[in-house]
Amino acid sequence: MGFTDPIGWIFASLALVLLYLFLRPQRQPARIVPAVFLWPQLPPPRRRRWDPLLLLQLLALLALVAALAGPYVERPAPSLPQRHVLVLDRTASMQARYGAGTRFEAAKAEADRYVSSLKPGDQVALVSVAEQAELLVPFSNDLEGVRRSLAALKPYDSGGRLAQALSLAHSLVQAAEPRGQVAVFSDFADADLPAALIAHAQLFPVGVGDDNVGIEGLEITQPRWQTGARPELALRVRNFGSTAKHGLLLLEREGQPLLQKGFTLEAGQTETVVQPLVGAGVVSARLLVPDLLAADNEASVYVPETDSLRVCLVSPQLDRWPELQLLSTAARNLRFDTRGCATGGGEADVYLFHRVRPPEDFPHPALVVDPPARVAGQSGRSFREVKLVAWDARHPIFAGWTPAFPMPLTRVRAIEVSGNAAPLLWGKAGDELVTVAWTSEAPGRQVWWAFDPVREPLLTSEGFPLAVFLLQSLAWLKPAEPAASVWPVGQAWPLAVGSPAVVRLPNGEEHPLPSGTESFVPHWRGHYEFHGPKGTASVHVAAADPREGDIAPKLRAASAPSTGPSVLAATERVPWGKAVLTAALVLLLFEAWIASRLASGVTR
């Protein structure tokens, strides 16, 4: 029982006034007599008795004051349907072994029991933890349908953001009427989980232990110009657990063994393995090690064929370029062509114009070397013995090296370049600053040199930086295709086949993508195929998310796990003010009736 306005009880002090009026002594009236002995001796005053009328008056007063304070009683409200938001973790760490199955299977079983214990009419929403939180099932009172959706779910090979999923769940609960309950089913391996998000949620943790060794990284490197260089695979293996582990690493290309190597890793240790590769194809890595999580024990990458860079040489003096053949022999994947390519039809990757100007608005990548003046007979100034003094170090041509020429350039001419060309290299002729090279991006990539490399010792030790400058310019004009086609799991892949499209998953299932879809997020490693109105495309998703290797649960001890759905106790207030006021009026009427009867001398 409670009172809506308990300050009204201050009027109960009026009971003291009633008691004072009743208990105060009564004074005897004074009388004048001729002699005292004629006045009979008065009996002693009688002891005052409690008057039943006073008791009725006090009870009536207390009832009036209680009615003024607004009395009420609380009782359980009629049972109403409740709303529940289930947050299910589908990240790669949920594939870790737990009991007779996996953490994900245990989490689904807990969620199924949770839904089974709900009352008819309750509504359930299902949120999935992934790279982006997913609302799989909006609020629905079809509990059997929710259970079927739960049973069909599979864990991802990607990571996820549990905090984002919890934020989505809380927003759904706050928008619900009546307010609902959030239940989280996870291994809580996410270290960046704010405590405020789980403070008002029911937690159902699954999984124990940190025993895991996984492939943390898989990279392919392939030097473009290094003689005899082969692609190299760099593999990083890490022990995420707290005890030393022993295992075996297997590398294969298209089913053919490349490497078998045993390893021992201490707790937290990382080891990098570098392996040269020969030929194209799918290279797979596999760890044979007893641990809890098998998803990160395998990884693969597709290594495509690498084509030579085809350079079309357009020059009136082809006989002066014998060093180019030597350079193409020394440099890997470089081929110069001097016949049948001068028309600029696009059959070459890069065009090298020597003492020839390219056509206006030439759309193909071009290296323009010592071009003539636009108007015949109007040559620009020439500078002798030009020393290089500055360059645009931010440009990709100078990535990873410094153009430290040990000797000055023999001759540099002032040339006319396109208006959108940007200076790249500067030199000094005496005290005068001279621009030596430019780059432009439109209509096609171009590099302009104001000097003639034929006049320089291109393949000598002194001219080696000049040869590097030539190769780097060609590499920027036509960037190499990636040495390996790798796409990280869980990241959006841009869809270039148009929409609507159909995707074939690694397990062979086909799913239509809605019209207007611009990207697709692969959640499992393997080969994906896309078919759309603009053609067919494929992507090889290489490995599980390395962020999921640390599988140790990180749920704080203060966050107690739950055992079942909590019942949101609903109560309602029943006001008793009118009833108490009626009782007060009845008491007053009864007291008045007794008083009138006593006054008339009638007793009962």
| Pair 391, 421 in one domain | yes
* Domain shared by 353 and 264, yes or no: no
Q: Tell me, yes or no, whether 296 and 234 share the same domain.
A: yes
Q: Locate tokens 């030199």: which residue?
A: 427
Question: In this predicted structure, what is the pLDDT of residue 558?
Answer: 42
What mean pLDDT comes out for the span 212-238? 78
Residue 520 domain-assigned (yes or no): yes
Do residue 233 and residue 372 come from a single domain?
A: no
Q: Taking residues 37-61, report their average pLDDT.
A: 67
pLDDT digits (tens, 9 = 90+) for 202-214: 899 998 899 999 9
Residue 62 maps to a domain: no
End-of-domain residue from the set 184, 205, 226:
205
Report, as an integer, the average pLDDT of 547-575.
68
Q: Is residue 588 part of a domain?
A: no
Measuring CA to CA, how many Å separate 183 from each of 98, 116, 356, 570?
A: 20, 14, 73, 19
Q: What is the pTM of this model?
A: 0.63
**Local structure of residue 132 (DSSP, 8 states):** S
Distances 553 to 97, 192, 280, 381 between C-alpha atoms, Å: 13, 12, 41, 73
Q: Assess whether 331 and 446 both reside in one domain.
A: yes
Let me know whether 339 and 390 are in one domain.
Answer: yes
Place of tokens 């499992």: 524
Query: Nearest Cα to 442, choosing from 364, 498, 517, 496?
Result: 364
Measured between alpha carbons, how far is 316 from 356 in angstroms, rounded to an integer?
8
* pLDDT value of position 127: 94
Give the separation between CA 221 and CA 243, rounded to whole angstroms: 32
Domain assignment of residue 128, yes or no: yes
CB atoms within 10 A of CB 293: 26
Tens-digit pLDDT profile for residues 68-85: 877 878 776 656 678 899
CB atoms within 10 A of CB 343: 9
DSSP 263: E
The answer to whether the beta carbons of residues 502 and 512 sit under 8 Å apart is: yes
Question: What sign does the dihedral 228-300-217-132 (CA atoms) show?
Answer: positive
Residues 408, 409, 415, 421, CA torsion sign: negative
The count of other CB atoms within 10 Å of the CB of residue 60 is 19
Q: How many domains does the chain have?
A: 4
CATH number for the domain spanning 238: value is: 2.60.40.10
Q: Please report which residue ranges of 1-51 form alpha helices under DSSP H.
A: 14-23
Distance (Å, whole) CA 486 – CA 87:
31
At residue 262, φ and ψ (nearest 5 deg) are: -80, 155
The dihedrals phi and psi of 360, each to the nearest 5 degrees, come to -60, 140
Rounded Cα distance, 122 and 115, in Å: 9
Per-residue pLDDT at 557: 47
Mean pLDDT of the chain: 82
Contacts of 327 (CB under 8 A, 6+ apart): 334, 458, 459, 467, 470, 471
Q: Is it the case that residue 223 has pLDDT exceeding 70?
A: no
Q: Are residues 270 and 368 in the same domain?
A: no
The CATH number of residue 358's host domain is 3.40.50.880
| pLDDT, tens digit (0-9, with 9 covering 90-100), for 387-417 | 988 899 899 898 878 877 767 888 888 887 7
DSSP string, 319-386: GG-HHHHHHHHHSTTEEEE-SS-TT--S-SSEEEEESSPPPTT--S-EEEESPPPSSTT----EEEEE
Residue 523's domain spans which residues? 493-541
494 or 32, higher pLDDT: 494
The string of pLDDT tens digits covering residues 272-283 is 999 888 777 888
Per-residue pLDDT for 4 more than 70?
Answer: yes
Given its phi and psi angles, is residue 554 left (phi above 0), alpha (psi -120 to 50 degrees) or beta?
A: alpha
